[in-house]
Amino acid sequence: MRKKHFQARLQSIGEILFSTFKKRGMAAKLEENVLFKLWPKAVGAQIAAQTQPDGWRAGTLFVKTTSSVWVQQLHFMKEDIRQKINELAGKTPVKEIHFTVGYRPAPKNSGYNAADVEKIVLKERDKKMIAECTEALADRELAEIVKRVMKTEISRRRLREKKQAR
């Protein structure tokens, strides 16, 4: 009977996972995730705020921007960005970058903090509406959660109304 051949060196978990992912066809997705994480470092905060990597296929990195003006500007910077991202990656996975319009950044914080919301006193009609909505709920824990959510939402709306009236 033949003995099994054991590997002479230990493999890191990363190597094992990468080879497993590669066998399952997921290596490209891992590479894509690495590129997406490198994007803000490669382009800087100002450009990163106006762009978002959208995909990576066959060496082409697809990036969405907030406007056609950004597409035009980044087109002129494409080669520098490509070199920088490849330098950060330690190899050359990006052969081309394609910019398109279509990125909408998440809205910035509304400026309301929890303390402001807690200061708002609900009107009697608001309290009555909350009670009517939650009294039919058999689960008391759920009813309390719904009450808190409704109170917070109504308070935020009142706070927004106050700020808009100024």
Q: How far apart are alpha carbons 106 and 119 in whole angstroms?
A: 27
* Total domains in the fold of the chain: 2
108 burial level (CB within 10 Å; 0-12, 13-18, 19+): exposed
Query: Which alpha helices (DSSP H) does the chain contain, by range?
Result: 13-23, 27-43, 45-50, 68-89, 114-119, 124-135, 140-165
Residues 91 and 118 in one domain: no
* Residue-level pLDDT at 109: 56
Residue 100 bridge partners (DSSP): 64
Residues 88 and 25 in one domain: yes
Kindly report the pTM of this predicted structure. 0.56
| 39: containing domain | 13-101
Reference 27, options 78, 93, 83; nearest CA is 93
Residues 75 and 121 in one domain: no
Length of the chain: 166
Mean pLDDT by 10 residues, the chain (166 residues): 65 78 76 90 94 92 94 95 94 94 75 63 86 85 84 82 75
Residues 134 and 157 in one domain: yes
Q: Tokens 């279509």 — which residue?
A: 102
Reference 92, options 20, 14, 31; nearest CA is 31
The verdict on residue 106 lying in a domain is no
* Residue-level pLDDT at 2: 61
